[in-house]
Amino acid sequence: MACSLSRAPRRRALLVLILVFFAHFVAVTKTRQQDNFYFDPAPRNQDVVEGGKVILRCDVSNRRHITFYWTLGSDDKRLPNTSRRFQEDSDLHIVRVSRQEDAGSFRCVATNVTTGVSRISTEAQLNILCE
């Protein structure tokens, strides 16, 4: 009789272990699905007259838990919003394009805030034309 009593705690421990493993598997699978996103549309090169307006578009296939910011050049720092150049939703608006301030490669960065996984878009450059 003593042997049959010791099996019950073992069964409970095995059941708890199976439940923990299953919960972990579901969480990992869900996280991987959340991180499965791509740029749609990705930013693209554009022609713009100096002093004119331009919108660099950026979005992803699955926006759930995604935040966006923009970078310029090799600097990975977030571009600050100004009255001339600002982010609206996921797009970057430039209202008075400047050859000096807007030369270089713009990139959109999309981050899943629940997992911390980030994707960096391809480069987009402005071909700034004379007025």
Burial of 80 (0-12, 13-18, 19+ CB in 10 A): exposed
CA gyration radius, the chain: 25
Is 98 in the same domain as 50? yes
Is 122 in the same domain as 61? yes
Give pLDDT, residue 3: 52
Identity at 44, one-letter amino acid code: R
Q: Are strands 66-72 and 85-88 parallel, antiparallel or unpaired?
A: unpaired
Q: pLDDT tens digit string along 71-120?
A: 999 888 999 999 999 999 999 999 999 999 999 999 999 999 999 999 99
Residue 40 within any structural domain of the chain = no
Could you tell me the two tokens for 54? 């331009």
Q: What is the mean pLDDT of the chain?
A: 86
Is 73 in the same domain as 95? yes
Give pLDDT, residue 20: 58
**Separation of alpha carbons 29 and 39, rounded Å:** 21
Give pLDDT, residue 106: 98
Number of domains observed in the structure of the chain: 2
Is a pLDDT exceeding 50 seen at residue 29?
A: no
Give pLDDT, residue 26: 43
Is 29 in the same domain as 75? no
CATH number at residue 116: 2.60.40.10
Is 108 in the same domain as 72? yes
Query: Does the pTM exceed 0.85?
Result: no
Give pLDDT, residue 19: 61
Domain of 75 in residue numbering reads as 46-129
Q: Model confidence at 45, in pLDDT bands (50, 70, 90)?
A: very high
